[in-house]
Chains A and B, each alone.
Chain A
Amino acid sequence: MNCRTARQTLELARPDEIEPKGLDDAARHLEECPACQSAVRRQDELDWRIGVLCRDVRVPSGLKERLMEELVAGAQPRPELAGRGGQIGPEASAEPAHVSPVAAVVIPVAKTATRMTRRRWAVVASTVAAAVVASAGWSALWLLASKPTVNLDAVTQRLTNGLDPNELGAFTQFDDGAWAKLPETMDTRDVAPEPRRLPGGQIAARTDVAVYFFTLSGPRRATYQGRLAVVPKGCVINPPKETRFGESAVYRGAVVTSTWVEGKFTYVCCLDNAHSLERLRPRNSAI
């Protein structure tokens, strides 16, 4: 057995556990190999240190008591359900209840006129208040949802770090119902027709991004990967000034990125080989 296999085999061997294949051979190898002895000793030290630190988490004081309280509270019938099923107090069992369609508030119907009036006022007031709060909440949510959230730097970084199309689902439409559209200022003949969906959550945004993947052939049968992200123009926090593919480009090592706005969309094109940029300019491009 060689050193690599021996170390692999020994790495996860634990007492009273499933025995990995070849453990005896690995153990024999270890006895005779000073390099492996040293490496395994270091790995054991590392494991020990990680284990100690991993378990060394201070549990907040009073957590157990808080959990117990929550469980007790969770086991009690909820006050708003008392009139329907909880049977708390003589009034609850005697009075029927109906549910307001506006705020799903349970409105118990009292027996005396005075109490009925007072309660109705209270219910009306609370219903109106609930409606106002809900309306304000929806407005805030609407404002929040309509605010641009896509940072192109985050998109660029995600594209630059490499994306596996197999890890992304199929993209269908943007939130406003629009379909992703390929740009006209870039040669898109090699671009796969079906975009993939980069979830907004992966770039700390609320809008999903459509990503097209493509492969370009280079010299000596080399191939280079490219990725083209499409984002609705209005969703971008930091839209670029450029209006054509390749109008300006950012080079990071071998990777080149071009960002531009065209029509209703902002595009980010990332190529793993900087020389590929020229390949993607349309033949009739004046740039």
Chain B
Amino acid sequence: MDHRAKLADLVEQYYALLYRYAYRLTGSEADAEDLTQQTFLTAQARWEQLRDETKAKSWLFTIARNAFLKELRTPAFQCTAFLDELPDRHPQTQIADFDGEQLQNVLNDLPEEFRSPIILFYFQDFSYREIAEHMDVPVGTVMSRLARAKAHLRERLPAREAVVAEPWTSAAAAFDCWTPQDSRAE
């Protein structure tokens, strides 16, 4: 099978997943479609760079991310929020009550290095190791970023009050590192 046929196979297999990733990354249908298209065109142009075809999925998503990062340097895509600045809005005594648009808004607030792994995490199609390869960082860093991104989502997503209230350590700082440090009994 020549590379065009293989690429067509990849389009068949991954275009939808790639588009969803691109949409969650950019927050816009038009940008997501452009990014998906750009990804496959780049893959076609650089086909010889794919040495291990079992890693084609990871390769495609890396191309998509790199293309997005390139766009990110333009004003329209600039993100100005940083996790450390985000206030605690919703303690963990509340129940999630939000829709896709609200989720997208909260994702848009996340810096890209947190947004990409959390999207891939929730897609459930990527292992931690694959996300780490995709991001080109160690697995521990992925874990740490995921924990902080999840804390961010918990705090920012709209919620309604739960019937039973109880404490939870909800600050993003609580998840600064993956390896638990604090061994004191609660």
Q: Which range contains the number of B residues in contact with the other chain?
A: 35 or more
| Interchain CA distance A60-B22 in the complex, whole Å | 13
Contacts of A43 in B (CB 8 A): 92, 154
In the complex, residue of chain A having the shortest beta-carbon distance to the beta carbon of B166: A35
B33, B40, B139, B157: which contacts A18 (Cβ < 8 A)? B139
Could you tell me the distance in whole angstroms from the C-beta of B103 to the nearest C-beta in chain A?
Answer: 5
Q: Within 8 Å of chain A (Cβ to Cβ): is B175?
A: yes
Residues of A within 8 A of B (CB-CB), count: 57
Q: Among A42, A54, A200, A202, which residue has the most Cβ atoms of chain B within 10 A? A: A54
A11-B147 contact given A39-B166, A60-B29, CB 8 Å threshold: yes
Contacts of A17 in B (CB 8 A): 127-128
Contacts of A161 in B (CB 8 A): 80, 85
Contacts of A204 in B (CB 8 A): 75, 78
Do residues B123 and A55 form an inter-chain contact, with CB atoms below 8 A? yes
Could you tell me the distance in whole angstroms from the C-beta of B35 to the nearest C-beta in chain A?
Answer: 12
Do residues B19 and A63 form an inter-chain contact, with CB atoms below 8 A? yes
A66-B37 contact given A2-B184, A8-B175, A22-B180, CB 8 Å threshold: yes
Q: Within 8 Å of chain A (Cβ to Cβ): is B174?
A: yes
| Interchain CA distance A8-B124 in the complex, whole Å | 20
Do residues A4 and B174 form an inter-chain contact, with CB atoms below 8 A? yes
Interface string of B48-60 (1 = CB under 8 A from A): 0000000000000
| Interchain CA distance A167-B147 in the complex, whole Å | 22
Do residues B95 and A45 form an inter-chain contact, with CB atoms below 8 A? yes
Do residues A55 and B78 form an inter-chain contact, with CB atoms below 8 A? no
| Interchain CA distance A60-B23 in the complex, whole Å | 11
16 contacts between A and B (CB under 8 A): A12-B128, A18-B129, A39-B92, A42-B95, A46-B96, A50-B96, A51-B124, A53-B99, A55-B122, A63-B36, A66-B33, A68-B8, A74-B44, A75-B4, A161-B80, A164-B82
